[in-house]
Amino acid sequence: MKELLKQNISNHIFISENERDLFCNLFEHKSIKKKNFLLEAGEICKFEGFVVSGLFRIYHLDKNGFENVLYFAMENWWITDIDSFTNEKPSQLYIEALEDSEVLLISKKDKEFAYINLPKIEKLFRIMTQKTHVALQRRMIDNLSKTADQRYLDFIEKYPQLLQRLTNLQIAAYLGISHEFLSKIRKKIVNSG
């Protein structure tokens, strides 16, 4: 269960096997059934999670009840509400399993323990945070400067493995467009190809 996590860590930093095992042993395994929530708005997020198998969507509901998907997290991805987790305040996000899923969760207390006792783990999370900031910045720029058509084409190029696992409604919520508009984009692409 923890082999994928160990591989993920090794992809970011060099760490001894003993240090890596000690860190990985701080994680708790949890199974989440499809359509169940790992986190709901109003709760305080008490974990950072690593997806071992399955698929999650992390989203916010606006005042009109419209879903705004921040991101999808599949195998080998990390999930949390970083604001709620860091500041111990009620979450504005939902983390929902789109498939039966397996996750490894670490608490804030155990993460702090790792920072103090395994200094390389702080480097691991710094590197991952920087990569997340880069991805968020690129997504914001794309949302401001690209058409919905181009954002959809970018999505299917960047995440081809997600295309078959998501509904059009979920993809539309990620792109910030209506389901109907996404259908028009898809039809236009098929007709132009």
Nearest to 53 by CA among 29, 80, 76: 76
In the numeric block, which tokens belong to residue 143?
């949302």
Nearest to 117 by CA among 19, 10, 7, 6: 19
pLDDT of residue 192: 79
Please give the single-letter amino acid code of residue 145: S
pLDDT of residue 43: 98
Strands 78-79 and 28-32: unpaired
pLDDT of residue 193: 64
Is residue 106 a contact partner of residue 48, using CB atoms and an 8 Å limit? yes
Task: Supply the pTM of this predicted model.
Answer: 0.92
Instruction: Identify the bridge partners of residue 134 per DSSP, sorted by sequence position.
Output: none
**C-alpha 173, offset from chain centre:** 15
pLDDT of residue 19: 95
Nearest to 81 by CA among 117, 25, 144, 38: 38
pLDDT of residue 1: 80
pLDDT of residue 85: 97
Is residue 144 a contact partner of residue 151, using CB atoms and an 8 Å limit? no
Nearest to 132 by CA among 79, 91, 171, 92: 79
pLDDT of residue 191: 85
Is residue 63 a contact partner of residue 20, using CB atoms and an 8 Å limit? no
- pLDDT, block means (10 residues), the chain with 193 residues: 94 95 97 98 98 98 92 96 97 98 98 96 95 93 93 93 92 92 89 76
- Ordered domains of the chain (ranges, CATH): 3-119 (2.60.120.10)
